[in-house]
Structure 1
Amino acid sequence: MRRILEKGGILSLSLMLVSTYSVSAVIPEMIRFYEGYGRSQVEQLISISSVAVTLIIILNPWISQILSDRASIVLGLLFLTLGGAAPVWVQDYGAVFVARLIQGAGVGLMNVCAIDMINQRFEGDERSALLGYRGSAETVGNVVLTLIVGRILGSGAEWRYCFLIYFFGAAVLLLYLLFVPNGKREKKVCRTEERTGRRMEKGGRNGYVFCGLWGGFFVGVNTCCTMRIPSLVVEKGIGTGAQSSLVLSLMMITGVFAGMAFGALKKRYSGRLQGISLCVWGLGLAVMAAAGNLIVLGLGAVIAGFANNILITTVFEGISEQFPPQAVKAATTCALVGCNLGSSASPYALNAISFINGGMSAPFVVFSAAAVAAGILKPRVPRENHSCDMA
């Protein structure tokens, strides 16, 4: 039972890791509230947290020399909770900007630890299973928080009350302190890992780069879509901001099923999994761009959400399998830096696309074409000859 509770405490950390964009449904309301500020400036209040996350992750090698993993997680959860909930009481643009930076710093402090802790304490099939469950925990947390935001907006309450969701960070902190003991378990290094280590000595740098670049692409595009879905729904006249949160939740909840299906899909398609998933992802984005009602939009969100979660999982699954133990933390850091750089760059990508076409569906068309092109051009690579399934 103690072992199960420990796993639950570790997995609970992932419930809040992607909560930054759980409040995306409030963007239309915030745009109306912050008169005098452009759309990209208001959207930046949501995405700016990713900048702080990225900076903290980059600084992680030095921070880890000062703070233990436990201290980083506790401090991170405190920052996430207090900074995330601050807009409930203070709505000044500058104050909200700073609060979102604090919230992002909190996520950054616990991000690498939440993933690396699984690699430190578990191995083999148990480790692989927990990495999959960890991704599902991220999705479950994001879905639940997004649904709560939708309910708050649907009740007619002011947008600021949606930021109360970050108080769930205090509950996660309690679970962690109660059930996750200090220290880490030593793992044996098998001959396979030794051979992998020798291989990574030659190609490891390329592996790090691929993890960061593809992680940034997958997360960045998904962030752009998440931020634009509420406005797309309103522009098309097919629903309200509150109803758009249902579409966002539908897109994210498929991540739970993607995590459950990942093992079987990996076994069946092996090195072709990413190429196929990229094409399916592009199809889902195209359906969303062409949607004329909420049902079709929801269908596209299911397809895109499933494929996107498969793609993101391949990045971290590749790290745990292809990098030697001493390189896993560095590879995880590179992947997370890429993911967060992609996320923080999303408003600028949306702004660049708006110069070509200002319609809310334009980003979905552009990203759909990019995903399909990448899926077609990506070669099939045998698992034993690549890192992060990205080469």
Structure 2
Amino acid sequence: MNNKNSLVTKLAFLSVSFMVTSAYAIQGSLPQLKAALGISQTQSEYLVTTPSFAVMIFVVLSPLLQQWFNISDKKIIMAGVTIVGLAGIVPMFANDYTAILISRLVLGAGFGLYNSQAISMISVWYEGTTRAQMLGWRAAAEQIGQACTLAIAGLILSYAGWHASFAVYLLAFVVLFFFAVRVPDDSKAQDNNVAEDDLAEELTEVEEPIKKISPVVYLLVLFAFLLVVDYVGMENRFPGLTVAIKGSSYTGSSMFLSLMLIGATLGGLFYGSINKALGFNTVYLGLGLMAISNFLFAFANGNFAMLVIGLLLIGFPLQLVSPLIFNLLPDLAPAKRQPLVTSMVLIGFNFGAFFSPTIAEWMNRLVGRPMSGLDLAAPFPIYGVMLIVIALIIFFATRHSKQAN
């Protein structure tokens, strides 16, 4: 069996996370899809977020299917990546909105089949600083994958149109081959003892073996939901805002979305170091930078440079906060319940991603702004204020907890 600490084995495990955010690869194509299919802004955004709905279902079904059919972790992950590749390329040959939407649902099912295993295995295999580092690298792998698939799909869009941009999902088969060759079939950790994490001590004191799921897990699920509503909403609205500023022929939004993901990648790569230096204060840094990003994006008002700066900024802090959530889980539930609590948080993330278009539409209606032009930025001042409120709630809650102890 390959050494779990070898670089190539780590890369093989992380490689499957490369494709898990590729549902967003077509964001740069949304204005062209909207025009070609004759659909609304919200309908076009659901082509990006609909896979998240299937992910929510299949992160729950995946452990059950694995148990019923006695499938190893490696095989369930390989099945999921195969589905991603096959379903992803269907829109290359389809012109009907419903057919494309269904293919996106199947794509999400593929992600859901293996997403929780890819994360929970890290929590079980690795401990302490190595675990935090691997979780950060996993987040970075997601962002690198999203950046690469966005850039490739955007490049194809410029030369061959929106149909051909879906060819980016052929990359899933490259990932499948690498994973199949390098990862051993027996992917269970030999040691289920998880080292106590300094970050989790801010929320809970762990002195004895954990016997039940902490209520903090449910708060983290809600937290994950709110973060992704904001993040995905900004990604979805950016192409429409660029067209409103630059004109309907503009196709360069994919490049900026890819650049934004470079910041997100750096956030994942440096999460372990920043967490080590700041401890629980990492969450305040992340939420503060995300709030600033929202305000820049919201108040750009036709200033393209300011809009781009707001977009580029949001990726880095999100990848400081999301690994934090997963890093807390091993100290908030027993080792045998880690797949369950990991799935719960993934459901929070994907529920937020799926409903992001509808929530953004509600925000537009709340402030009485239409769903077009520069008014697509209307939800983001509200999101920025929400992030500040969340940071204050966390601050006073943890302060009260310390005083009570």
Worse-superposed segment, 278-287 or 258-267: 258-267
Worse-superposed segment, 303-312 or 21-30: 303-312
Q: Supply the AA of the counterpart residue of 2:338.
A: V
Query: Could you say which residue in structure 2 is the equivalent of 1:44?
Result: 46
- Looking at structure 2, the residues matched to 267 and 357 of structure 1 have their Cα atoms a distance apart, in angstroms, of 43
Query: Could you say which residue in structure 2 is the equivalent of 1:342?
Result: 352
Given that 1:131 and 1:317 are in contact with CA atoms closer than 8 Å, whether structure 2 keeps it comes out as: yes
- Looking at structure 2, the residues matched to 181 and 327 of structure 1 have their Cα atoms a distance apart, in angstroms, of 23
Alignment of 1:366-381 (within 5 A): 366-379=382-395
Query: Could you say which residue in structure 1 is the equivalent of 2:215?
Result: 206
Query: Could you say which residue in structure 1 is the equivalent of 2:79?
Result: 75
Query: Could you say which residue in structure 2 is the equivalent of 1:20?
Result: 23
Given that 1:272 and 1:381 are in contact with CA atoms closer than 8 Å, whether structure 2 keeps it comes out as: no
1:158 to 145, 158, 161: 161
- Looking at structure 2, the residues matched to 319 and 98 of structure 1 have their Cα atoms a distance apart, in angstroms, of 33
How big is the shift at 1:192?
Answer: 5.0
Worse-superposed segment, 12-21 or 305-314: 305-314
Look up the SS of the partner of 1:378 in the other structure: helix
Look up the SS of the partner of 1:91 in the other structure: coil
- Looking at structure 1, the residues matched to 145 and 31 of structure 2 have their Cα atoms a distance apart, in angstroms, of 23
1:100 to 87, 98, 104: 104
Q: Supply the AA of the counterpart residue of 2:146.
A: N
- Looking at structure 2, the residues matched to 71 and 381 of structure 1 have their Cα atoms a distance apart, in angstroms, of 43
Cα distance, 1:289–1:337 mapped onto 2, change above 3 Å: same
Query: Could you say which residue in structure 1 is the equivalent of 2:200?
Result: none
- Looking at structure 2, the residues matched to 380 and 122 of structure 1 have their Cα atoms a distance apart, in angstroms, of 32
Q: Supply the AA of the counterpart residue of 1:53.
A: V
Deviations 1:135-160 (A, max 9, x none): 111110100111112212222x2111
2:379 to 363, 370, 385: 363
Alignment of 1:261-272 (within 5 A): 261-272=270-281
- Looking at structure 2, the residues matched to 43 and 61 of structure 1 have their Cα atoms a distance apart, in angstroms, of 30
Query: Could you say which residue in structure 2 is the equivalent of 1:34?
Result: 37
Cα distance, 1:173–1:377 mapped onto 2, change above 3 Å: same
Given that 1:215 and 1:338 are in contact with CA atoms closer than 8 Å, whether structure 2 keeps it comes out as: yes
What is the count of residue pairs matched by the alignment? 381
Alignment of 1:172-211 (within 5 A): 172-183=175-186, 184-187=188-191, 189=193, 196=206, 198=208, 201=211, 204-211=213-220
Query: Could you say which residue in structure 2 is the equivalent of 1:389?
Result: none
How big is the shift at 1:212?
Answer: 1.1
Query: Could you say which residue in structure 1 is the equivalent of 2:202?
Result: none
Query: Could you say which residue in structure 2 is the equivalent of 1:326?
Result: 336
Query: Could you say which residue in structure 2 is the equivalent of 1:227?
Result: 236
Instruction: Report the TM-score when normalising by structure 1.
Output: 0.90
Query: Could you say which residue in structure 1 is the equivalent of 2:292?
Result: 283
- Looking at structure 1, the residues matched to 226 and 248 of structure 2 have their Cα atoms a distance apart, in angstroms, of 29
Cα distance, 1:376–1:125 mapped onto 2, change above 3 Å: closer
Worse-superposed segment, 184-193 or 272-281: 184-193
Alignment of 1:109-124 (within 5 A): 109-124=113-128
Instruction: Report the TM-score when normalising by structure 2.
Output: 0.87
Cα distance, 1:347–1:197 mapped onto 2, change above 3 Å: farther
> Once superposed, what is the RMSD of the aligned Cα atoms?
2.4
Cα distance, 1:89–1:102 mapped onto 2, change above 3 Å: same
Query: Could you say which residue in structure 1 is the equivalent of 2:13?
Result: 10
- Looking at structure 2, the residues matched to 310 and 259 of structure 1 have their Cα atoms a distance apart, in angstroms, of 6
- Looking at structure 1, the residues matched to 250 and 216 of structure 2 have their Cα atoms a distance apart, in angstroms, of 41
How big is the shift at 1:38?
Answer: 2.3
Cα distance, 1:158–1:192 mapped onto 2, change above 3 Å: closer
What percent of counterpart residues are identical? 26
Cα distance, 1:188–1:374 mapped onto 2, change above 3 Å: closer
Query: Could you say which residue in structure 2 is the equivalent of 1:138?
Result: 142
1:87 is the counterpart of 2:91: yes
Q: Supply the AA of the counterpart residue of 1:300.
A: G
- Looking at structure 2, the residues matched to 263 and 126 of structure 1 have their Cα atoms a distance apart, in angstroms, of 9
Q: Supply the AA of the counterpart residue of 2:52.
A: S
Deviations 1:347-380 (A, max 9, x none): 2112212223221110222211211222233326
Q: Supply the AA of the counterpart residue of 1:212.
A: V
How big is the shift at 1:83?
Answer: 0.5
Q: Supply the AA of the counterpart residue of 1:259.
A: G
Look up the SS of the partner of 2:95 in the other structure: coil
How big is the shift at 1:26?
Answer: 0.8
How big is the shift at 1:381?
Answer: 6.2
How big is the shift at 1:182?
Answer: 1.3
Cα distance, 1:336–1:197 mapped onto 2, change above 3 Å: farther
How big is the shift at 1:272?
Answer: 2.8
- Looking at structure 2, the residues matched to 120 and 271 of structure 1 have their Cα atoms a distance apart, in angstroms, of 22
Worse-superposed segment, 106-115 or 308-317: 308-317
- Looking at structure 1, the residues matched to 316 and 336 of structure 2 have their Cα atoms a distance apart, in angstroms, of 32
Look up the SS of the partner of 1:186 in the other structure: coil
- Looking at structure 2, the residues matched to 227 and 31 of structure 1 have their Cα atoms a distance apart, in angstroms, of 12
How big is the shift at 1:210?
Answer: 1.5
- Looking at structure 1, the residues matched to 23 and 156 of structure 2 have their Cα atoms a distance apart, in angstroms, of 17
**Gaps in structure 2 of 5+ consecutive residues:** 198-204
Q: Supply the AA of the counterpart residue of 1:345.
A: F
Look up the SS of the partner of 1:185 in the other structure: coil
Given that 2:128 and 2:195 are in contact with CA atoms closer than 8 Å, whether structure 1 keeps it comes out as: no
- Looking at structure 2, the residues matched to 106 and 286 of structure 1 have their Cα atoms a distance apart, in angstroms, of 35
